[in-house]
Amino acid sequence: MDDAQPRPLLCHCNAIRQGARQVTQFYDRHLAPTGLRTSQYAMLMGLRHLGPISINGLADAMGMDRTTMGRALKPLERDGLVAVGQGRDGRTRALHLTEAGSIRLDAAEPLWRAAQDGFEAGYGAADAAALREALARIARAV
């Protein structure tokens, strides 16, 4: 094997994490003008489609644990993009996307689309679709 080429990782977990870090950095560079990171964009988009929703509900929908979700939401709440209000029964709390969050998400969407298109251009649209399916199978299997 050519020493200039990285050697494939034998550990499935490390290989997936390494790939995820590279892809996240790629999308983060595209979203940088909005001040959002890829993970924040995903949470805001999740709230747009699912909200109002409990923190536990959003965490479950995104495949995250509640504690990690709570920490990740703090900057979004601080910046006024997400608000926590009363839930359906008065005893629970629910997250919702604020008007500022919706505006920021609208500004980020074409940049996210450019990242999506760029990824597909470099990786291949069919391969990207197969990758998404493989990753979904992994999420269901473990």
Give Rg (Cα) of the chain: 17
The pTM (predicted TM-score) of the whole model is 0.86
At 24-54, the pLDDT tens digits run 999 999 999 999 999 999 999 999 999 899 9
The average pLDDT across 92-119 equals 96
Which amino acid, residue 23?
V
Listed in sequence order, the DSSP H helices in the chain are 12-31, 38-50, 55-62, 66-78, 99-123, 125-141
Give all domains of the chain, ordered by start, each with its CATH number: 36-111 (1.10.10.10)
User: CA-to-CA distance for 59 and 56, rounded, in angstroms?
Assistant: 5
Residue with tokens 């909200």: 51
Residue 88 in this model has a pLDDT that exceeds 80:
no
User: CA-to-CA distance for 131 and 138, rounded, in angstroms?
Assistant: 10
Mean pLDDT (the chain) is 91
